[in-house]
């Protein structure tokens, strides 16, 4: 893995980026402002973004001139396309344990976690939780030997 410093304006967004990330720019900028630039943008050998479009937009918003990036020169064009998609998709698969999240959020006193998008995320996860419970209920009804006519 190679890293290099590059001017933010020289980083090139991928022209076919399928993610719509407008709503994420402010929370990501807030995160970078609060915690620093900790997750590097990944680019190909031509400085085209593979992973980190939202970070790149947030860095511009914050006025960064130069940042460290990871150069993924070991990936083929197909692998770069696949990684670009996979990097975003895998985060959607995880869910929140809402009771544990409540505990963690309750212990954060001096930071407003709304700045990092938690209000929206919790609402989405609550909807997902109820959808999942409904699916489990429907599945249970399909296999229940006591539910006449449902099998």
Q: For position 44, which CATH number holds?
A: 3.90.1530.10
Q: How many folded domains does the chain comprise?
A: 2
148 plus 84 within the same structural domain:
no
Regarding whether 76 and 137 lie in a shared domain, the answer is: no
Domain range holding 19?
A: 1-94
Q: How confident is the model at residue 33 (pLDDT cuts 50, 70, 90)?
A: very high
Domain shared by 73 and 120, yes or no:
no
Provide the pLDDT for residue 51: 96
**For residue 16, what pLDDT band results from cuts at 50, 70 and 90?**
very high
* 87 and 14 within one domain: yes
pLDDT confidence of residue 133:
57
Average pLDDT on 27-55 reads 97
Q: Is the pLDDT of residue 1 over 80?
A: no
Contact status, residue 65 vs residue 8, Cβ threshold 8 Å: yes
Containing 51, the helix (H) or strand (E) segment is strand 49-51
Confirm whether pTM is higher than 0.75: no
Q: Which two tokens stand for residue 105?
A: 């959020």
């Amino acid at each position: 893995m190679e890293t290099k410093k590059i001017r933010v304006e020289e980083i090139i967004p991928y022209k076919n980026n399928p993610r719509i990330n407008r709503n994420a720019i402010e929370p990501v900028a807030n995160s970078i402002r609060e915690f620093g630039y900790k997750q590097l943008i990944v680019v190909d050998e031509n400085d085209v973004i593979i992973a980190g479009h939202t970070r790149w937009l947030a860095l511009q918003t914050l006025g960064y001139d130069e940042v460290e990036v990871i150069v993924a020169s070991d990936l083929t064009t197909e692998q770069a396309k696949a990684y670009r998609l996979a990097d975003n998709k895998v985060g959607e698969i995880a869910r929140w344990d809402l009771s544990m999240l409540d505990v963690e959020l309750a212990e954060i006193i001096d930071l407003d976690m709304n700045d990092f998008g938690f209000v929206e995320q919790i609402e989405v996860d609550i909807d997902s939780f109820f959808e999942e419970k409904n699916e489990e209920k429907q599945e249970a009804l399909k296999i229940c030997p006591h539910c006449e006519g449902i099998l």
